[in-house]
Structure 1
Amino acid sequence: MIQIFICEDNEQQRELVKGYVANYIMIEDLDMEISLATADPNEVLSFVNSEDYLGEGLFFLDVDLNAEITGIVLGSQIRKADRQATIVYITTHSEMTYLTFVYKVEALDYIFKDDIAGLQKRIIECINIVQEKAMNEFSSKRPKLNQKYGDKVISVYYDEIMFIESSSNMHKLIMHCENRQIEFYGKLKDFEELHESFYRCHNSYIVNKDNVVEVDKKNKSIHLSNGETCYASVRLVKGLLN
């Protein structure tokens, strides 16, 4: 989840920005939340340095906060605490933007309050950039199976694999994925230790434990998150439950 922070001393302006952000998150059903909307920069810093901060947050900051520190200094402190944070300035002081380079804030955008028509559009654009970055990072970190088996090259994320079973076709296996099945030449024993989530639950099945939603011990059936079912042996179902 991406945490969003708004620091603006003008209550009317703060509520306006908060409304734009909250409405877009709700409409697009994004995995984001407004964790803090405040006039006090020290509240923001306290949160960023607490255990409640998840990292890589999105910050909408005013430049002139009428406080002991400016939005520029606040951005600099946030950057020191989290190099991956995304900082956006919403301001009337265009002449002060050069200070972000002096303080090495590396802001994503500078949105000017005077541009009423473009304010909402620019806020949404910043949210979309952060969302796309998060999705790309998630995809790049997902472990993926890329290997040639017999006559096929298998390329699939491990978390999409439900189970692998012996095929009725000699020397072949069927890999049941989230939305497809792949038949290829191979041996089940080659998959037993290929990934930590794989478990040999039967002579004919290897199941991905991460995608199990229910184990019917009586019928030795295993129900997967995509609605499919595979089976366990009497001997191996206990190990699966453990």
Structure 2
Amino acid sequence: MCEDDPIQLEQLDTLVENYILFHSDLFKVELQASKPEQVSNYLNEAEPQNGIYFLDIDLKSEIDGIQLAEIIRKKDVQAEIIFVTTHDELAPLTLKRKVAALDFIAKDQPLDDYRKEIYDTLDYAKQIIDETRTVQKKGFSFEVGTQVFNLDKSEVVFLEASDIPHRLNLYTTNGKFEFYGKLSELETKYTFLFRISRSCLINPENIHHVDFSIREVGFADGSSRKFSIGKSKKLKNIIQQTL
């Protein structure tokens, strides 16, 4: 959350913390900022994904809330941005600037109404996140250049680090793709994937056989990959669950 007024920032933080305490353990407050530069630094250091951002528009800075929202959108593409402001007349500008705000909440209203709007918006944000996670469990998305591919998770066989830095090789039931990405991020995003080594994630549904004597996983297309010795027990459990 970013608010230049310390009293209003503390009030907003208290309301959000109370919501988390009584409504959801899905969220936690990562940053209370009074300056947009603090948010920008956090984005660069933490590289958050699917964050929820409460922003004032007039931040008494060279960067206003709408400009900050643009920065956030570039770093955290699926961010949910909520403006908490006295300048709701600027809502059309956010459409023009394509920051796709989830809501505008007026600060200059009775506390009970203010609280209700914040809680209703967080309820809606939680609903969106839950629905997104449900879709992600069923599918797998990635980008190659300007093209976006959406696969059913059953099509994913395994992913591994490419010889080219920052690129990944994706092996599917229909062929091979190469795209920019990080295994750690995909492992977190797609819970159906299992890491068998530092450089490889697999979809257990597409395992053909496992040879524990040589620590090797075989797939239906005839390919195989080695797994780390420390993964043996977990791999046996996953195979049992999959079957």
TM-score norm. by structure 1 comes to 0.57
Q: Unpaired segments of 5 or more residues in structure 1?
A: 1-5, 145-157, 159-192, 202-206, 213-223, 225-242
Structure (1 or 2) with the greater helix fraction:
2
Structure (1 or 2) with the greater strand fraction:
1
- The residue correspondences of 1:188-199 to structure 2 (distance < 5 A) are 194-196=205-207
Partner of 1:228: none
Alpha-carbon distance change, 10 to 194 in structure 1, aligned in 2, over 3 angstroms: closer
- The residue correspondences of 1:27-66 to structure 2 (distance < 5 A) are 27-50=22-45, 52-66=46-60
**Separation in 1, partners of 2:115, 2:136:** 32
Paired letter, 1:209: N
**Separation in 2, partners of 1:118, 1:198:** 59
**Separation in 2, partners of 1:21, 1:138:** 22
- 1:71-96 deviations in whole A, cap 9, x for unaligned? 11111111122221110101112232
2:11 pairs with 8, 16, 22, which one? 16
Percentage of identical aligned residues: 30
Report whether the alignment pairs 1:88 with 2:82: yes
Larger Rg: 1
Q: State the 1:210 CA deviation.
A: 3.9
Report whether the alignment pairs 1:110 with 2:104: yes
Alpha-carbon distance change, 95 to 135 in structure 1, aligned in 2, over 3 angstroms: closer
Q: Please provide the CA RMSD for this pair.
A: 2.9
**Separation in 2, partners of 1:70, 1:16:** 21
SS of 2:115's partner is helix
**Separation in 2, partners of 1:81, 1:194:** 33
- 1:52-111 deviations in whole A, cap 9, x for unaligned? 233110000001000111111111111122221110101112232222123211101111
- 1:119-173 deviations in whole A, cap 9, x for unaligned? 11111112112211221122222259xxxxxxxxxxxxx9xxxxxxxxxxxxxxx
